[in-house]
Amino acid sequence: MALYKYKNDVTTSTDDAFDRIYRPGDTTPYSGVYRCQSCAVEIVSEQAKPFPPTRACADHNRKVTSGTITWRMAVYAQHAN
């Protein structure tokens, strides 16, 4: 689970962007922290770059609890203008 120290650095959102599921190789829509729905490992993925391949979970020695590795956004990296 993503952690933070200072509550002023994060805010709660109900945006449906946090509910979308992505597969390895899909293009990342927003820079941020994404959580594997199979093994709970978290990664940082940059906007317009592909999500990591399926070996990302195995590389972290995590147990995959289902056959499909998918990613869901946990923390959005908001870009201020």
Domain extents for the chain?
Answer: 17-76
Task: Report residue 79: phi and psi, to 5°.
Answer: -100, 115
Please tell me the pTM assigned to this model: 0.82
Task: Report residue 74: phi and psi, to 5°.
Answer: -105, -40
- Let me know if 73 is exposed, middle or buried by CB neighbors in 10 A (0-12, 13-18, 19+): buried
Contact partners, residue 63, CB within 8 Å, separation at least 6:
39
- If you average pLDDT over every residue of the chain, what do you get? 84
In the predicted structure, residue 7 carries a pLDDT above the cut 80: yes
The percent of residues in the chain predicted with pLDDT above 70, rounded, is 80
Confidence of residue 68 (pLDDT cuts 50, 70, 90): confident
Confidence of residue 61 (pLDDT cuts 50, 70, 90): low
